[in-house]
């Protein structure tokens, strides 16, 4: 996003997936924001929910930094 590698997830699809797993999106957003894993911009309303155009349609995305999806470092070298 804006030249920075990132992963965007459609807001409604993310909400549905979390719900199927027994989580509420509204409950996890504060933790994600505190951890700094959501890309935020004061121009967005709310600042953590991007509005972008995909295939000619405006969509809302939760945009995550790439660190969220990186494999953990293997400390044992295996």
Element (H, E) at 52: strand 50-54
Q: How many residues does the chain have?
A: 78
pTM of the model: 0.77
pLDDT (tens, 9 = 90+) of the chain, 78 residues, equals 667 778 899 999 999 999 999 999 999 999 999 999 999 999 989 999 999 888 999 999 999 988 777 766 655 555
Integer Cα distance of 51 and 58 in angstroms: 7
SS3 73: coil
Give 64's strand partners: 7, 38
Sheet holding 50-54, edge to edge: 7-10, 57-64, 50-54
């Amino acid at each position: 996003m804006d030249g920075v590698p990132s992963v965007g997830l459609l807001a409604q699809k993310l909400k549905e997936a979390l719900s199927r797993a027994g989580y509420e999106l509204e409950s996890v957003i504060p933790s994600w924001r505190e951890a700094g894993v959501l890309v935020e911009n004061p121009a967005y309303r709310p600042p953590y929910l991007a509005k972008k155009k995909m295939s000619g349609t405006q969509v809302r995305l939760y945009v995550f930094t790439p660190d969220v999806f990186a494999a953990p470092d293997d400390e044992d070298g295996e």
